[in-house]
């Protein structure tokens, strides 16, 4: 498998990797991705070309390595990063600042396009050391939502100087990640094991729903929503567990799956093939969860239809559609889980999937591209 993966050593710890979105009608696989770094004296935002497919070997395996198109210095650790469109990237900093960088494709340069200084802060915005890390950002052009260590949620618009909306005390704990549920609703996860839904149309500063892990309140670090079935949400926690939630019912996860041996840093459903889920961890692993086994009598929770009425009635939970994720050993008959990095040692901080391509970045100061995910 590994010969499909090309590695690039970049002499900085990589905290985020993101594919540039493809134009709507594009048929080609993604080719350009961005990375952000952390814990270096000089952190950078970098734009890479995934490499030359013309270098495929005799068996069609891919040998080109990523090459740097351009980069720019970034103040503070890159905590999160999202493409706003083909040219602009929104970056969350440990200083609390949120910056939009523009990638000029004609001359391959990056420039800071707009900056919200100390969008996140402790005490007040004016104290010199008051910045609080901006931990998460999500975009739905032109809207940008950010969350932070300060428990604050900001709604920005790419073309406006001031925040459109700020929920100051949204959370009394650290917000670790945010994603859109719908265009007007967002999901956040926090450091006491809660998943919350916020309706941005409501003027009140309370979540419309709160879900929570039972018991130990393990911090949740990452969240993603199923692209087609918006009631299905996946989160990853400090303990490496994968939690699957059905936000239509109950306040607890539908299933908890033993996954990694340390913090799970990112979870992503494949955007166009969401029977596939990807997670990465501090323990140096990156898992591909494949619930697409096409044996008809094995419904996966990702498939609509069949027995989805039994979705969460706890009496019939073992016969329900989610049983693929609930059996003691989901791998046994219903799901394949593959660690795509057999012998990595340092943390895999970030991954992104698009089409047949996976990109991930590590504390081992390397970025990796797999262009044949489903080969």
Length of the chain: 375
pLDDT tens readout for residues 39-58: 999 999 999 999 765 555 55
Q: What confidence tier does 311 reach under pLDDT thresholds 50, 70, 90?
A: very low
Domains of the chain in start order, with CATH, are 5-55+62-123+132-293+335-370 (2.130.10.10)
Q: Which long-range contacts (CB under 8 A, 24 or more apart) does 254-260 make?
A: 254/301, 254/311, 254/312, 254/322, 254/325, 254/326, 255/301, 255/322, 255/325, 255/326, 257/325, 257/330, 259/287, 260/236, 260/285, 260/287
* Cα separation, 368 vs 328, whole angstroms: 32
Higher pLDDT, 344 or 257: 257
Least confident piece of the model among 175-179, 198-202, 293-297? 293-297
Q: Are 168 and 205 in contact (CB under 8 A)?
A: yes
pTM: 0.87
pLDDT tens readout for residues 256-292: 888 899 999 999 999 998 889 999 999 999 999 988 7
């Amino acid at each position: 498998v590994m010969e499909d993966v090309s590695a690039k050593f970049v002499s900085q710890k990589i905290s985020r990797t993101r594919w540039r979105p493809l134009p709507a009608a594009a048929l080609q696989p993604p080719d350009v991705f961005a990375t952000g770094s952390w814990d270096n004296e000089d952190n950078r935002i970098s734009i890479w070309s995934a490499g030359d497919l013309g270098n495929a070997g005799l068996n069609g395996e891919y040998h080109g390595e990523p090459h740097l198109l351009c980069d720019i210095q970034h103040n503070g650790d890159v905590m999160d990063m999202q493409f706003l469109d083909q040219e602009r990237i929104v970056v969350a900093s440990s200083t609390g600042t949120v910056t939009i960088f523009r990638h000029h494709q004609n001359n391959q340069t990056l420039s800071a396009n707009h900056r919200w200084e100390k969008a996140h802060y402790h005490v007040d915005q004016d104290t010199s050391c008051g910045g609080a890390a901006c931990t998460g950002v999500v975009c739905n052009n032109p809207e940008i939502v950010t969350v932070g260590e300060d428990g604050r949620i900001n709604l920005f618009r790419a073309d406006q100087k001031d925040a459109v909306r700020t929920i100051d005390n949204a959370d009394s704990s650290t917000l670790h990640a945010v994603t859109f549920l719908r265009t007007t609703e967002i999901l956040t996860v926090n450091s006491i094991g809660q998943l919350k839904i916020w309706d941005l149309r409501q003027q009140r500063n309370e979540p419309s729903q709160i879900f929570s892990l039972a018991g130990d309140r393990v911090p949740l670090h990452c969240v993603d929503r199923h692209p087609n079935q918006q009631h299905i949400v996946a989160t990853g926690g400090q303990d490496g567990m994968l939690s699957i939630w059905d936000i239509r019912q109950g306040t607890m996860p539908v299933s908890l799956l033993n996954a990694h041996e340390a913090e799970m840093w990112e979870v992503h459903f494949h955007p166009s093939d969401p029977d596939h889920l990807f997670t990465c961890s501090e323990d140096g692993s990156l898992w591909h969860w494949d619930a697409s086994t096409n044996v008809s009598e094995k419904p996966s929770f990702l498939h609509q239809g069949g027995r989805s009425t039994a979705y969460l009635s706890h009496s019939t939970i073992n016969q329900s559609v989610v049983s693929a994720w609930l059996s003691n050993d989901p791998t046994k008959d219903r799901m394949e889980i593959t660690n795509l990095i057999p012998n990595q040692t340092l943390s895999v901080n970030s991954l992104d999937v698009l089409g047949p391509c996976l990109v991930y970045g590590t504390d081992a100061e390397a970025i990796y591209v797999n262009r044949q995910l489903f080969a």
